[in-house]
Amino acid sequence: MTIDRKTHISAQVGEYAIPPLKDMLVLGKQAPIGCIAMRRAIELLITATYAHIEIEDDVISDILVRQHLLKRVSRDGLIDFVLTHVKPMMGADEIMHAELNIKVFLSEGM
């Protein structure tokens, strides 16, 4: 009896981005690395300042977000966005990375 065996490998390869974090990390309650360790690692790799937001939730424990983004969106607005849109896609043992696109529209009547 002859057995045919085929193997196929497919990969997308790109340059590793430094820093590995752009805008926001959402840490699950059972993530393999805690918020304090993640913050220390980020401080070693990135010069930007990140705000730490603790969450009282059954899945999410913390949000790390670029400090300057909180000038464009309120802390409560960001928490609501994460709980509404990110939480349903993640487990308590995960860390989710997000690039945020925040647009602010201004108008002034004279």
User: Each residue of 28-83: pLDDT tens digit?
Assistant: 999 998 888 888 888 888 888 899 999 999 999 999 999 999 999 999 999 999 99
Q: How confident is the model at residue 59, as a pLDDT?
A: 97
Residue whose structure tokens are 């193997």: 7
Q: How confident is the model at residue 94, as a pLDDT?
A: 93
Domain locations in the chain as residue ranges: 26-98
Beta bridge partners of 28: 60
pTM of this prediction exceeds 0.75: yes
- Helix boundaries (H) for 1-110: 35-45, 75-81
